Every structure is written in structure tokens, then in C-alpha cells.
Amino acid sequence: MVVGAGTMGAWTALVAERGGRSVALRDAFGAGHSRATSGDETRIIRASHGPDAFYTRWSRRAREAWQRLGAETGQELLLQAGCLWFARRPDGFEAASEATLRAEGVPVEHLAPDQARARWPQLDPTGLDFVLFEPEAGLLMARRAVRAVVDVFTARGGSFEVSSVEPGRSRAGRLEDVVAADGRRIAAGAFVFAAGPWLPRLFPDLVGDLIQVTKQDVLFFGPAAGDERFEPATMPCWVDYDAAFYGLPSVEGRGAKAAPDRYGRPFDPSTGDRVVDADSMALARRYLAGRFPALAGAPIVETRVCQYEATPDTHFVIDRHPAFENVWLVGGGSGHGFKHGPVIGEHVVGRLDGTVAAPDDDRFSITRLRVPRAGMRTGGDDAPPAAEAG
């Protein structure tokens, strides 16, 4: 039984089914729904993770898996638009990423600001030390991709149902079943809870303080009529790590995506209104005025409210429940988890089967002390805000 059909849960279910297991997948709202952290239309896929080669290797393996899934389903799931990293200093996250990428054999280009301006005239690189370009990075069609994973899973005989479930009866250190909202009890031999922002609710004593759920505003700006400079063919994804901003090109006419990557306020993923804050709109316009002037006055054509479920150190949670030998908790995507979905699924199933060990640094442990640090998303706030009482 896998609870949660976001990128982590859906891939876990598919990998387990491909490995010969009988798998039931459940999600309270469906695959790729608007409340999910794996919802929205697009997500960046990139290999830059500073000095941490672990995630660089994972992202490259995940990239291949997403490409294979696209070929298998006949859908365009990954657009190789590339990704620009705006380095404001010579010795920051971008420089560390460049060293890691070169050591791992990942294509990367180091560009002076004037070189970047000549290549992408819509970009104003004023104030940057250099620009790092990952040509094999790009974007994933997030909602479409998650649904594609679930479609392949069900086509292979996996069971998927839109249903809200909670942990049920336990005996002798094992969970025996989950309970659906309508009272049905569903038994399984092993359970993986990959419930995204709902994981702290399902296991409040264990992960209620480990994973904080915050509101994240995303805005889409409409270029002028006939302006193709912000299409994927002419504009890469981009990340301004130190400024805590990121963006993606305009895909399928939906507008160029830009978002402040600071942690928002604590957010209820079930009942929270998904309306962006005026402050986020003002921040985005101010940022675009300096870096992409042609978009500064462009209309906001769409908005999204997503959420992060973040751990203090931005490492994921992938660990066995300390009280139940047959229960695994998977989550804490921390704003960089979507792209890793295929490899997370492989890792979870490998841990279940006993064929894969935990990382040497135990980074995914539930019980180890997590020290706040600048994360894999951006160099903004070091940790999410504490949950508000009530």
C-alpha cells in the first residue's frame, strides 16, 4: 500500500509493481491535483546541487527515467530548455556546482555576464559575477508527468483509487491496515506513506516538527503579443540562488513563470485558499524589472499557490517508522524533490527489499538531529518558519 500519488508515491508504486509486488496506490484528491506539492504545470530539473554530488547523481539518473517514461507514453514530459544560474559572487553555490558538475561529467558552461547577455538578450546580467549554464537541464511537465506515472502503473495492473486513508490497527510492531474515510479497512503487508504536506498530520508525534508546510506563491507573466523570447526554445529556466528567485520559460502559452523562493507562512494544504499574496506580486515585478525588463510590466496571466514541505536541512525523509517494521515514511521534498521522483521510488523499494542501504551520512533519517542550513533550493532563509499554534 502506497499512500500519496505525488512524484514520490507514484514512482514508488510503479517501481514496486515493476518489481513484482502487488501494489495499491491511494490519494485523497487524485494524481496531479491542485492541492498537491506535485501539482502545477512545470518543475525545473537540474543537476546543480552545490558541492553535494549525491543529488547531482540522483538528478541525472532521474532525468533518464523521465525521458524513458516520456518515450513509453508518447508524451512530452521533459523539455530540455537548459538552466541558467546567476552567480552574484565568485565562490558561491554556483561555483561549487560547477566544480561538482565537471567532476561528474555533466555538461556545463561558465559565461561572463556580457557573453550571457549576447546569447540571451532578454536577460540583464548587471551585477552578476558570472552565469552558469546547464544545457541538459530543463523542465518537467509536472501535473502531466505525475499522471503519466499513475497511468502506466494502472495499465500494468496496479490498483489506484481516490481515497483518503489513515493508519489503522497495529499488532506486534506491525501496521495491519489503513482506514478509509468511509470506514473500509484495507490490509497490506507493507505500507509506504508518501503523503507530502499531509505527512505531518498522519504522524504528528514523529514528523510534526520535522516537516514544516509553507505557502509558496508562483506567478506567470504574459509576454507581449508576438514576443517569442521567453519560449523554451529561446529562454532557459533560471535560478538566482542568493536572491531566492527562480523562473521558467513560457510553456504552451501559459506565461513565463517567476517565483520568490523564500519560505512562505505556514499553510494548510487541504483548506488553505490558493490566492497569491500582493507582496509576492510586488516582489516578482521588482525582481523582473532588474533581470528581465521586458516582463516587468507584463500582465500576470496565471497564478498558483503550491507549498513546500521542508525539513530544516532540506534533505528528504526516507526512513522506516521506528515503531512499525513494515511502515516507511517518505517526504520532505523541500522544494527540490519533484525531479528526483524516479530515483526516490527506486531507493524506497530497494530499502523495503533490503537491497539498498541508507546513505552513509544517514541524511534521510527521521530520528537524527537536523541542523538548519542553506538548502538545495536557494540560499534564502536557512529554515522554514515554525508552525503556528492551532
CA 137 from chain centre, in angstroms, equals 15
C-alpha cell at 44: 525545473
Q: In 3D, which of 173, 122, 153, 156 has the Cα closest to residue 31?
A: 153
Distance from C-alpha of 346 to C-alpha of 16, rounded to nearest angstrom: 8
Looking up cell 559572487 gives 89
CA 328, CA 345: separation in Å to the nearest integer? 12
Contact criterion met (CB below 8 Å) for 301 and 220? yes
Give the model's pLDDT for residue 114. Answer: 98
CA-only gyration radius of the chain, Å: 20
Q: How far apart, in whole angstroms, are the C-alpha atoms of residue 344 and residue 347?
A: 5
Residue 118 within a domain: yes
Around 81, how many Cα atoms within 13 Å sit in the side-chain half-sphere?
30
Scan for cell 507514484, then name that residue. 10
Going 343 to 344 to 350 to 353, the CA torsion angle's sign is: negative
- Asked whether residue 371 is domain-assigned, the answer is no
- The 3-state secondary structure of 139-176 reads EEEHHHHHHHHHHHHHHCCCEEEECCEEECCEECCEEC
Distances, alpha carbon 218 to alpha carbons 48, 221, 280, in Å:
22, 10, 8
Instruction: Note whether residue 205 is domain-resident.
Output: yes
pTM over 0.85? The answer is yes
Residue found by looking up cell 494524481 in the block? 31
Q: Are 323 and 233 in contact (CB under 8 A)?
A: no
Q: What is the CATH number of the domain that holds 318?
A: 3.30.9.10
Instruction: Give which of 11, 9, 78 is closest to 43, Cα–Cα.
Output: 78
Question: If you count them, how many residues does the chain have?
Answer: 390
Residues contacting residue 76 through CB under 8 Å, at least 6 positions apart: 70, 141
Give strand ranges (E) for 185-284: 185-187, 191-193, 212-221, 237-240, 245-248, 256-260
Q: Which amino acid, residue 318?
A: I
Domain containing residue 124: 2-353
- In a domain, residue 291? The reply is yes
Residue 54 included in any domain:
yes
Which pLDDT score, from 0 to 100, does residue 390 have?
A: 26
Total domains in the fold of the chain = 1
Q: What is the DSSP letter of 379?
A: S
SS3 306: strand
Cα(182)–Cα(166) distance, rounded to whole angstroms?
A: 11
pLDDT score, position 316: 98
Q: Which of 245, 198, 283, 285 is nearest to 380 (CA)?
A: 245
Q: How far apart are CA 17 and CA 38, in angstroms?
A: 21
Tens of pLDDT along the chain (390 residues) come to 999 999 999 999 999 999 999 999 999 999 999 999 998 999 999 999 999 999 999 999 999 999 999 999 999 999 999 999 999 999 999 999 999 999 999 999 999 999 999 999 999 999 999 999 999 999 999 999 999 999 999 999 999 999 999 999 999 999 999 999 999 999 999 999 999 999 999 999 999 999 999 999 999 999 999 999 999 999 999 999 999 999 999 999 999 999 999 899 999 999 999 999 999 999 999 999 999 999 999 999 999 999 999 999 999 999 999 999 999 999 999 999 999 999 999 999 999 999 999 999 999 999 999 999 876 666 555 444 443 322
Please report the pLDDT score of residue 387 as a whole number.
35
| Within a domain: 55 | yes
Q: Which helix (H) or strand (E) holds 331?
A: strand 327-331
With 0-12 CB in 10 A as exposed, 13-18 as middle and 19+ as buried, what is 99? middle
Backbone angles phi, psi at 118, to 5 degrees: -65, -35
